[in-house]
A and B are shown apart, each in its own frame.
Chain A
Amino acid sequence: MAANPAARGAQLFEYLLHLADNGVVLAQRLGEWVGKGPVLEEDIASTNVALDLLGQARLWLAYAGEIEPRDGAPARSEDALAYFRDSGEFRNLLLVEQPNGNYADTIARQFLFDQWHVLLLGQLALSTDDRIAGIAAKAVKEVRYHVERSSDWVVRLGDGTDESHARMQAAIDALWMYTGEMFTVDATERALIDAGVAVDNESLFSPWQSSVRAVLDAATIVVPADSFMQGSRSRGGKQGIHTEHLSHLLAEMQVLPRSLPDARW
């Protein structure tokens, strides 16, 4: 069944915001480590990862701005979308907005996300939407490096000292409940999946689970039991329902352009 163009545009816009906002928010979180990384190499690595995610987010946002149904109003730019939306309009996963915590928390968050992100992009590279496929094919090459690094660090900390092991286990335990959201499919996504545009997140669960378990096993980390928020009908970031952390993050990220909308570098 062919969707009407305005409805399809609105669905695609939502989906592109989801892809973009994961990158915008996680890049902002990683940026908080700049100059404070535990070692110089890690300071550089987290900045590099942030830069990749931000670059990808710009591509998604630019596309979102072009296709957003605006009813005659001028199209929104990447910056307008990044700086002038409130938390309820963000479509990122709850996982990526969680605070940095200690370095095990940051690495655990990155690892759980990277393992999903690399699978998602690999599938999106086959999207029937050429623009999405092109961006994903480029991004997946970058994200392969991210997932290798975060997986290595999970093992290094998990199978490290008693202290680092305890912190990594605590980090995985605390973040685990946010992983269920990555495999949910809402009505917007369902329509796009049927059109071959979006990826069926449910299909990513099995490969994600086996990769994540293999790394956690090597890291001597116990895989947590599933808890609430793991159900396929759970709602969260993709519906604009966020944890309180996102508002604080956005306040810092958006304060300059909102105070001085015409500011130029």
Chain B
Amino acid sequence: MTVHADTHALAAIWRALGSVVDPEIPIVSIVELGIVRAVARECDGWVVTVTPTYSGCPATRVIEADIRAATGAAIGEDVRIVTALAPAWTTDWIAPEARRKLQEAGIAPPHATGNDAARVQPVTLHRRRAAVRCPRCGSLRTTELARFGSTACKAQYRCIDCLEPFDYFKPH
């Protein structure tokens, strides 16, 4: 394959990956979420490197099947999918455009984490957290209902002003 053809295929693969959405949050693509870490041509063909969001995320297999289907249709050959655990996925990799889409879908986007996975933090009872803005009315007067929500990546919140419950994408 020529360098020129490779460049075309590479662009086609990235376009195809941009059309693959997270099955649990089907408004954002896996590229925008930071799940796709690399696309490269190796001696045995194209390799797409992905990283799981949460260790037990049940969407992982669906996402892999969707990647195969989308990239296969785009370049006419199968890609190999490699899972990389390190560095661990962080919500800091979520693209600004995806944050806007989450907000519009009623999911408060995550705050920055500082991305220091290996740091051992003391667990204290009186945790200070940045206020989470209600995605519907914009109020900062919101409260956590539960640390865990409908998917591994979300917590349940409620707005004290507009009274609507909403999901908060946990900083991770």
Contact = CB atoms under 8 A, between A and B. Distances in A.
Interface in A239-257: none
A140 to B, nearest CB: 6
Contacts of B170: 145
A9 interface: no
A58 B55 contact: yes
Interface in B41-57: 52, 54-57
Interface string A41-75: 11011011101111110110000000000000000
Nearest to B89: A138
A141 interface: yes
Contacts of B125: 151-152, 155, 214-215, 218
A53 B56 CA distance: 7
A55 B56 contact: yes
Interface residues of A, number: 45
B152 A52 contact: yes
B86 A133 contact: yes
A47 B150 CA distance: 10
A123 interface: yes
Contacts of B163: none
B141 interface: no
Interface in B76-130: 85-90, 117-125, 127
Given A119-B120, A125-B118, A138-B117, A51 B86 contact: no
B86 A148 contact: no
Interface string A2-46: 000000000000000000000000000000000000000110110
22 contacts: A41-B145, A41-B156, A48-B152, A51-B58, A52-B55, A52-B152, A53-B56, A55-B52, A55-B55, A55-B57, A56-B55, A115-B123, A118-B123, A122-B120, A134-B85, A137-B85, A138-B86, A139-B55, A145-B147, A152-B125, A155-B125, A214-B124
